[in-house]
Each structure stands twice: as structure tokens, then as C-alpha cells.
Amino acid sequence: MTSASDSDLRGAGSGKGPAGQGSRGAGSGSAGAGSGSGKGPVNEATSSSPGWTGAVGEPTRFLLLRHGQTPMSIDRRYSGSKSNPSLTDFGRKQARAAADRLGMGDWDITGIVASPQARALETAEFCADELGLDLHVDHDLRETDFGEWEGLTFGEAHARDRDVHDAWLTNPELPPPGGEAFRTVDDRVAEARRRIVTAHGTGTILVVSHVTPVKALLRQGLGTGFELFTRLHLDLASLSVAEFYADGPTSVTLINDTAHLR
């Protein structure tokens, strides 16, 4: 008999909300063009639509992979840049499944860049081994610093700092006590994005990171406001795609694809 954990690798703790907690915002479980069907992307490496954006040439395509499950994601605790848990056994299965998906050749991946934190690096190493590519690290792809809320659940942080917690959910300029504001995270992720574009040029780059940096890149690709941070759901070990053109236009072609985890 196949167990639930073997047949569905989405697993407990995948419902990470605005900052590592369990709220599913609008768009939860949804994906962009070609996702959610269980069949994977169709000609994803060439499916850009520059006619819709007015873009000229080929984009730098960011294939965004969120890390697999950790002990803190099981309990839905704030797990930011100050915590460094490794993957659980289940998280390693998720990472292996993602690597196998990437190895199928749906995307012509030419480079891998990851957060320096253990959970992202371990996930990225599965992919690097599968793809036969070198793994590079960019420290600006690390998770948000949740300050004094690090290790707390959403409910515990809310009970501890009710007014600040409520305000933080709607104000990207406001950091958690002793932590980092969403706008600060977004700014440093944008710097990482520019470095990656400069280093790799056009083509598809696998970026292995955390829920907030992935949301930041999707926000930048969509050109939308910071409300995306609290309304968009991303599963553990999910795949998304954001494209950035040299002449300015951007697009998002895939969000929260988990076909490889089912």
C-alpha cells in the first residue's frame, strides 16, 4: 500500500502565509499558464509572449524553487534568516522530486543560484546533482529576518505584539521588532536579481530560496503592490517562473506549480 506521504509530497506545513504561517491568500494553489494540470509546462523554455509586453529579445527567466519541508515549517513557525534548520526526511523527498522534475528537460536551465541557508542549499544540491551544474550562492536571497518573532507561530506573535503584528501585515515599511521590513527584503532581492541577470544574461536560471524572496521576485515580475506578500500562497518545493527583459518589460508565466509533488 502506498502511504499518503509517499503519494502526495506537498505535506504538512506547506501552507505558508505572509511570513511563514498557515494562511492561504487569494490565488492559493493556483498556477500560471500550463500549471496545475499534473502534466508540467508545455514548451516552457520558449513560451514567453513578448507580444503582450512589447519586449524585445529574450528574457532572463527565473525558475523559482522554494525549499522543502523543515521542522519549523511543520509547526508553521516563523523561520527567517536567523534560523537555519535542515530539511526533514520528507523535505528531502520533496527536494528530490523537484530535482527529478527539473531533470525532465522542460526548461533549459543554464545556472543555479541559491540562498546561503541550509534548507535552500540542501534543496539546491539535489537539483545541481541532477542537472550537472555548479551551485552559486547569493546572500541577498536569504529569508526575511523576523526579529523577535523568530521561532513563534503566527498566533504566538500576534498575542505577543498584537498591534505591531496587525500593522506589519499591511505596511511593507514596518519591520517586526528587531527584524526586517518586507520592503527591505524586496530591495535586496532586486539587487540579487540584477546581479544574476548581469552574470548569466538571457536563459533560464534556477533560483532556490524561501517564501518571501520568491514572492518578491514574483511581485517584481507582476509589477504589483506589496499586498501580494500576504495574499499569495506558495507551497513548499513549489515552482514558479518570472521573466525579466533587458529593455524593461516583465512577466510571470507560472505560480506555485506542485505537479511533481503529487
104 neighbors 127 (Cβ within 8 angstroms): no
Cβ contacts of 76 within 8 Å, gap of 6 or more: 13, 15, 16, 20, 21, 22, 153, 154
Residue 141, domain extent: 28-33+59-261
pLDDT at 224: 96
Q: Which of 201, 87, 210 is nearest to 138 (CA)?
A: 210
- Domain assignment present for 114: yes
pLDDT at 193: 98
Residue with the three cell numbers 519586449: 55
- Domain assignment present for 44: no
- Domain assignment present for 182: yes
Q: Could you tell me the three cell numbers for 218?
A: 514574483
pLDDT tens digits in sequence order for the chain, 262 residues long: 333 344 577 765 544 455 444 333 333 333 333 333 344 443 444 445 555 666 678 999 999 999 999 999 999 999 999 999 999 999 999 999 999 999 999 999 999 999 999 999 999 999 999 999 999 999 999 999 999 999 999 999 999 999 999 999 999 999 999 999 999 999 999 999 999 999 999 999 999 999 999 999 999 999 999 999 999 999 999 999 999 999 899 999 999 999 999 9
Q: Helix, strand or coil for residue 112? A: strand
- Domain assignment present for 8: no
The length of the chain in residues reads 262
What's the CATH code of the domain at 214? 3.40.50.1240
- Domain assignment present for 165: yes
pLDDT at 12: 54
77 neighbors 16 (Cβ within 8 angstroms): no
Catalytic residue among 44, 122, 130, 143: 143
Q: Could you tell me the three cell numbers for 216?
A: 518578491
- Domain assignment present for 235: yes
67 is catalytic: yes
If one counts the domains in the chain, the total is 1
Distances (CA, A) of 191 to 60, 188, 198, 200: 15, 5, 11, 14
- Burial code (b: 16+ CB inside 10 Å, e: under 16) for 149-188 equals bbbbbbeebbeebeebbeebbeebeebbeebbbbbebbeb
CA 87 – CA 29 distance, rounded (Å) = 22
- Domain assignment present for 205: yes
- Domain assignment present for 14: no
- Sheet arrangement for strand 250-257: 135-137, 109-114, 203-209, 60-66, 239-244, 250-257
pLDDT at 54: 65
115 neighbors 123 (Cβ within 8 angstroms): no
Catalytic residue among 44, 67, 165, 233: 67
13 neighbors 76 (Cβ within 8 angstroms): yes
143 is catalytic: yes
pLDDT at 146: 98
H/E stretch holding 256: strand 250-257
